A and B are shown apart, each in its own frame.
Chain A
């Protein structure tokens, strides 16, 4: 067992990346990701980490470097936020299309305009269709553990993995964190060996044209690989549990066994929401929480199991899909329900944009409004909660 030490989460995440013995790091600093890559640069500079740190002129280049390095069989890392992620955009699809096991930590932040450095999920939701495995951390311990997990999964599936943690709310908080022992990490993560890589002794071509006769098949193969990664994600968490005692699931539920109203949420707001659940439970209200940790591939069966027999679901989104029928999570959940026989009433709120606090009282109100929706069908398909009239 490792020792619990108080650490800023960004520093702990960087230390975890170093423990994974990465070969190449390439990143461009952007708030609130900065401390992660700064600390890694320090570790490389001090000789504590034997890796190549490639400073670049942009995030587009940062991911390009990772793509090139990963194609040669190197273990790579990058990290970004907000506009930086958007600047990487076209390369996101190349990383997954070429099946490169790159790991990226995203310190989630709003996107411009208006410019904002604060937290929500509008950056990562733009890449939900990019073919990356995507996980969400609720707190610092999870963030660190998801980094170890990301390398395990990426390299077994040969798919890129994005680990999401809420900017500032998670990244800049000092938490007691138990880092895995180095020998445990080494046992968990054997050196990366890729069957095919850029090697002059055994040449292969990557990134060839996909003519209409073959493009569909190439995309189908990626889609199947992403779906099949689900099993590896679970196995990697089970193996991690054996080594560290910490257990993770794609979907976590809290007080859902007999819940009438459930709330679906991702990321750090789940901690506040669970406090609201505790207080409402103390008053006899049958409420519960469903936390989605694995966003891609979407764990449909786990989700359907987790919601039990709720009569109504309140889905919290932290991003807007302008002009759509709901927020990204709301749309996903409605689609999942449509394929099952479960038909709880569903209300979808977009809350906590750009770091606006969603307090315990807000969550109680959201639960209250979901109870109201049981007797009266809401007129909206989603609502931007808290927008001042």
Chain B
């Protein structure tokens, strides 16, 4: 076998299917191209075709995801076994994304519960614990603001953890940046001159933990860094953060929630 054929076989094994990547890329570029230059005339008509294509693709993905997710959850419940061992990362993610959001919106005038907190004051009772990373940020942009976080996962945590967050006053989902952000690109923003992609969730894979200095802590916890962003419309100007944010962390065998005010 020639070297060319060997290299083709080696990289083709990665199965680089693009899952609609061209349209996602083009749509994001068109949106970004318009934002800084302020040329908005004709925007709706010019975006109509790609956005409709994206909408159809998203709808198909949602239906397929719901069907697959529902079937997987059904199988899991029927077998009373942990499905993580038999599922790919994508299938596990689909299962977790199908979990319903559990926190209700705050009633007018209600105060944010800001908790539960663990024994050292971090948010969440485990196996996930969230805290802000105060050494950096917040970073304010024309779109909104970004706050850096460190999440700690307890030793012994397995599988995937899916992290989502919403403003509990309006229901607006927060966006995420960085290495662990996941899901379709929902927007772009320029932070410090660098274009960043906004995604709707964070996925932490316990089989691919960060390594190096500062990646592990007391009691075998693993530290993960990620960045969450919120648009100006829901920010409190003095803190550059919403008044009350609900967090939901789904693992294959648990759902953990806390609020952060």
Do A and B associate with each other?
no
